[in-house]
Amino acid sequence: MLSSHEYREFVTKLNGYAHQYYALNETTISDATYDSMYREIEAYESKFPLLIDPNSPTQRIGSAPLSHFDRFDHQTPLPSLNNITSEEGLNAFCNRVYTALNRSDIKFCVEPKVDGIAVSLHYKNGQFIAGATRGNGSTGELVTENLKTIPSLPLNLNQAVDLEVRGEVFMSKKQFATLSDLFANPRNAASGSMRQLDSRITAKRKLSIIIYQGFIDNITTHIETMAKLKEFGFPVNPGLTHCDTISDIFSYTQKINANRYDYPYDIDGAVIKINNLKYQDQLGMTIKAPRWAVAYKFESERSITRLQAIDIQIGRTGVLTPVAHLEPVVVGGVTISSATLHNMDEINRLNIKVGDMVIVARSGDVIPKIIGVASSCPNSAPFQRPKICPECRAPIESSGNIAYKCPNHNCPARLKAGLIHFSSKKAMDISGIGKEVITQLVEHRMVQSIPDLYRLKPADFLALPGFAEKSAHDAVIAIQESKKKPLFSLIFGLGIPHVGEQSARLIAEHYTNLDQLLTADTDTLQHIEGIGPIVADAIISWVHNPETKLVISALQNMGINPQFKSDVISGPLTDQSFLITGTLSQYKRSEAEILIRSKGGKIVNSVTASLSYLIIGEKPGSKLNKAEKINQKSGKIKLINETEFTQLLESK
C-alpha cells in the first residue's frame, strides 16, 4: 500500500505521463507500468476516500449525470471566424489589415485548423474551475464535468495563475475508428460527447483538446502567448508557425493542405492571425468574427468509384429521394459507401447510370455528394423510376418534373420519417427518440400516429432491444417533457408541407393556439407578412384534412395545447422586416437571423412591398428580381449586401 507521500508522487507522475502522451505525442513508460501505478492509486483511494487528490487520474472517469446544462455567459465574446477559400481571398484579407492599420510590415501566424468544438476554460489559482461551449458566442453551456474527463487538459497548472484560455475539443482519428458505427465523423463524435449529461459516457470517448488562445497580462504577441501556455502545461498546436509575407502565408497553407490527411486528427483548413496583440485590439471585431483572423478553408477532397445501385427513400410528405450506393471509397480520409442524389432530376442532370464510375466529393468535408461521371461503362444501366412505392406498394404520383411521391398517408415509411421529424431537435426535441428507436416502434406497431408517442409506457420500451429500466424510464420522461415546447415548435413538428421553422413562427404569432389554427382561411393566411400562396394553400389543405382534426384532438386530450407567447425582443430594429436571398459568406443564415431578432428585427419568408430589407448574398434567387420589380413601382425595399448588413448591425 502506498504512503500518502508516495500517493501524491504517483498522481504527479501519472499526470505527467498523460501530458506527454496526449499533448506531446511522446511515450516514456510502458502501458503495463502505467496500469500498475494506476491500480496502486486506486487501492490507496479505496482505503482513504477522504484523502483523494482532485487531480488524481482516477477523477477523470466522470461523475453522476446532470439533469441539464447551466447557461454560461462568456466574459468576452467567443467568436467564430470568417472564411476564405482562395489566394485572392487571402490577398483581400491581408490588404484590408494593411489598410486598416496603415502599415505593411504586419507579421502573421498560421496553424492547422482543427475540426472540433470551441470551448472556453477558466482557471483560478492554477485550478480548473469552469468550462463552456461557444454557443452563440455570447452564451454557451457549462460543460465543466465533461471537460475534466479530457486526459490532455491540465486540471492543475504548474503555476498559481488566474487565467482564461480557449481551445478546440476534438476526437482523434484513432479513437474515432472505435466509434465510427455511432457517428458520421470525428467532429460529430466530439460534439455529441461534449453534450452528454452523463460525463462518465464522455470519459469513455477519450476526447482531446488543443488550446489556441489565452488571455495573459504583459505578453505582446500570439507566439509568446502560445509558448507561455505550453509552459503552463497546456497542449498547443504543434503546427503553429510565423509568416512575414502573403506569399509565405499562402505557401504554408498549401503545405498544410497537402498533408491534411497525415494529421492524427481532422483538419479542415488553416487559421491565419495577426501576431501582434496590440494590432488585434486595434482591429477589433465585427458582430460575428474578429477582423484580425480568418480561416482558410480547403476544398473538398474528391475520389472516383463505381455506382453500384440507386435505392429510394420515402420522406414524411411521401416524396421519393434517390440514394446512391457506392463501391466503398476513401474521400478525405473517410470511407464513403452512399450519397444522396436529392431528386430524380439530379440523376438526369448528372446523366449517371448504375455501373458508371462517378466522381464523389464530401460537401463541406462532411456530406457525400456525386458531382459527375468519370466514365460510363458499356454495361451501365439507366435508373428506372419506380412506379409503385417500395414500402407500401401504392402507385407513385407525379408532382411536377422533379418530385414523385407516395400518396398513401398511412405508408410506414412516411410515418417513420414524420415521427423522426416530429422528435427532432428543431421541432419537439425528444431526446433519445431517434431514427433507430422510431423504426422499432413503427415496425412493432406500437406507434401508428404522432399521438401514439404520448401513450407509450416504460414497459413498451423494455420490449425493444437495447432498453433497460433506466433508459426506458428516461425515454418516457423525454416524451412527456416535450409537451412544454412552444406552439411554433409543435406546428413545425407536425410536418405541414412547405412550412419551415420561420413559417411556423409566423403562423404561431397569428393563430395563437391549435383551435385558432384549425379555423385558418386562405385570405387571412396570405395577409400574414411572410406567408405566400404556396404555404397558404398547403396549410388550408392540411387544416381541411379529416386526419388533421383527429391528430390535433388527440394531442389536446393528452395535454398538448401550447399557447403562443411572444419572444420578440424590442430593439433598434423593431418594426423592421428582413429577408435573405443567396448564400452569405460570413454568417450561416440561422446566425444572421438570430442577430436580427436579437435587435428586435423580424424575419419574413417572402418579398412583399412592406419588406424593409432584402439581404443579398452570393447567387441570389428570384427574390431579388421580385424586390427590384416592386421597387420599380412604388416599393421602398432596401437592397443591401453582406457588408452593408454587418455595418447596419454594428451601427445599431
Residues 6+ apart with CB under 8 A from 400: none
If asked whether residues 273 and 390 sit together in one domain, one would say no
If asked whether residues 263 and 197 sit together in one domain, one would say yes
Residue that is last in its domain, among 374, 405, 436:
405
3-class state of residue 652 by DSSP: coil
Identify the pLDDT of residue 62.
61
Encoded amino acid at 9, one letter: E
Set 13, 47, 107, 113: catalytic member: 113
Beta carbons of 373 and 357 less than 8 angstroms apart: yes
Encoded amino acid at 28, one letter: T
Identify the pLDDT of residue 363.
61
DSSP designation for 27: -
pTM of the model: 0.61
Residue that is last in its domain, among 359, 387, 405:
405
If asked whether residues 584 and 643 sit together in one domain, one would say yes
Residue that is last in its domain, among 405, 427, 458:
405
Residues 6+ apart with CB under 8 A from 86: none
If asked whether residues 39 and 133 sit together in one domain, one would say no
If asked whether residues 252 and 341 sit together in one domain, one would say no
- CA-nearest of 480, 470, 409, 412 to 444 is 412
CATH (domain of 31): 1.10.287.610
Residue 87 phi, psi (nearest 5): -65, -35
Note whether residue 613 is domain-resident.
Answer: yes
If asked whether residues 255 and 106 sit together in one domain, one would say yes
Note whether residue 625 is domain-resident.
Answer: yes
Q: Which domain holds residue 20?
A: 4-61
Distances (CA, A) of 604 to 343, 507, 611: 27, 11, 8
Number of domains in the chain: 4
Encoded amino acid at 53, one letter: D
If asked whether residues 237 and 330 sit together in one domain, one would say no
Note whether residue 568 is domain-resident.
Answer: no
If asked whether residues 20 and 93 sit together in one domain, one would say no
Distances (CA, A) of 284 to 175, 218, 593: 38, 19, 23
Note whether residue 504 is domain-resident.
Answer: no
Residues 6+ apart with CB under 8 A from 130: 72, 121, 122, 142, 144
If asked whether residues 22 and 115 sit together in one domain, one would say no
Beta carbons of 405 and 317 less than 8 angstroms apart: yes
Note whether residue 182 is domain-resident.
Answer: yes
CATH (domain of 289): 3.30.470.30
Kindly list the averaged pLDDT for each block of 10 residues, start to end, along the chain of length 652. 86 79 66 81 84 78 70 88 91 94 94 94 94 87 93 90 95 85 78 87 92 94 96 94 95 93 89 96 87 90 89 89 90 80 83 91 71 88 90 84 80 93 91 90 92 94 90 92 92 91 86 90 80 88 91 92 72 89 80 84 84 88 87 85 85 73
Query: Does residue 638 have an active-site annotation?
Result: no
